[in-house]
Amino acid sequence: MAVFVTGLVARLYGLGDKPYWLDEVTTLHRAALPAKAMIRDSLSFHHLPLYFLISGWFVPHGTDEATLRLPAALFGALSCLLLFGLTRALGGRRAAVAAALLLALSPFQVQYGQEARSYTLVISFILLGLWGLVAVLRDPARAARPLLAPSSAWRPWLVYALATIAALDTLSVALFWLAAGILAIALAGWREPAARRGLLVNAAITHAVILVCYLPWIVAMHRLTNGDMRSGLDWVPPLNWERLWTTVQAVYLLRTTSLIAYHTFPDGLAWLGAVVALLAVFGLWSVPRRDPAMAAAKVALVTLPAGLLVASVVSSVWMPRYLAWSGPIFFLFAGLGLGCLPRRMSFGVLGLIVVAGIANLLPYYRLETKPLWNDAALMLRGSLPADALLLTDDPGAIDMMNVRLQRLADPFPDELWTDDATRALQTLHDGHPVFAVHGRVGQADHTPLSAFLDMVAPLGAPCLTRTVGLDIIIEAFTPDGRACPTTPDADGA
């Protein structure tokens, strides 16, 4: 309960402080739909529907940031509890406390525990599934008995199956967990000849049930996307060394990174990640080599990053959030490494993890990890003349600003903005001012700042340029002889 409360407090603190960004706006709109329409909309955009159905239960209580992010915070705290139980089953209480605290205090995990998306939910299901698989493989002889036999291991098989079905119905990246489970069972069967036949038969039955429950969603998705199943990943930036290393730092080494870009903030304790990595390597080296339950955890650790790297050769899928469920398993081995240290030393290292982990996490709450579209909305709405036109390079910027402005009952109407630079130029020639706004909208920046500046260059020299946070720039253009409008601060001053 202590690690659960720690994880919950870390995720509830400042839960509504950071503004929505584009993916969360999608959740906001989709969660408000009736169930049938919600499922159809999810599948049409290559999303599984379970998380949105759960989020729909919270919409009647409010659509502010804190309310809609509450499910993610709760599942994030639950994942700490599940990792504690899983690690204790493999390596004892000290290892479990260390692993769960690393998960509770990881800036990356806290960030996604404050994100109105499905990542903490799929992490919880996969940790539960791995716990069930560990229980299955702890005793291969018992796991090989017929599932309906009185002394069979049907309960852990059932936990593994249900958790895997739920994970697959939440996020497609859980397919890598399904592959890891199959590989771990196959490895156990290869190492245990006496139990091989029964183990593989039970695995075949279990995975047949899993696929029967999952494949209908894929068939429906295929139909609703007209067979274009790959188009949902066309926004992912290509993989390079910088993005690879930034992702590793975020997911495994406790660094705070921007959610919207591959950017690591210098705040925090850089050496803490090295300590965790050393503990994880020591844990991997120290655990029994031929324990099938431990092998399942090792396979789960390796399968996701290896699978995403291999898949990126064909089409880039290397995103920090897609690696989210492998982070807790990395912390599991770090906890096992701490548990293998002498007792007095392990308590000292555990105390260091607690103190340093808190100090490393605290900067996250004040850093700009999401674009400040709320502030940009207030700044623009307070300064746009009645006859002005708003020019943007991405309609998603309007969507995010309107979420904030709708609470003031004053959103940007469709006729007030455009993404057509030719129309903006004509508006300026007709004697009306133009405000141009650019900023990061999604994790693939299709229009970099240089391209945006080229787009607005025909409008002439701006009479005013304002920046909002790290990612947003606003420029004002006026006809000859007309005074430049002033833009208020984000609070309206």
* Predicted pLDDT at 445: 63
**pLDDT tens string 75-84:** 999 999 999 9
The domain segmentation of the chain, as residue ranges, is 2-366, 373-477
* Predicted pLDDT at 27: 94
Q: How far apart are CA 96 and CA 86, in angstroms?
A: 8
Q: What residue spans of 362-469 are helical by DSSP H?
A: 373-381, 395-406, 421-429, 449-456
* Predicted pLDDT at 491: 46
* Predicted pLDDT at 229: 64
* Predicted pLDDT at 335: 97
Q: How far apart are CA 110 and CA 129, in angstroms?
A: 22
Structure tokens at 468: 């909002």
* Predicted pLDDT at 446: 66
User: Are 233 and 318 in contact, with CB atoms under 8 Å apart?
Assistant: no
With CA atoms as reference, report the closest residue to 113 among 257, 324, 305, 304: 324
Q: How far apart are CA 185 and CA 7, in angstroms?
A: 31
With CA atoms as reference, report the closest residue to 485 among 434, 416, 421, 449: 434
Residues of the chain with pLDDT under 50: 490-493
CA 50 → CA 43, 47, 109, 384, distances in Å?
Answer: 11, 9, 20, 41
DSSP state of 452: H
Q: How far apart are CA 279 and CA 338, in angstroms?
A: 6
Q: Give one DSSP letter per residue of 271-304, joined into a string.
A: HHHHHHHHHHHHHHHHS-SS-HHHHHHHHHHHHH
**pLDDT tens string 95-124:** 999 999 999 999 999 999 999 999 999 999
pTM of the model: 0.93
What is the C-alpha R_g of the chain? 25
**pLDDT tens string 226-238:** 877 666 666 778 8
* Predicted pLDDT at 90: 95
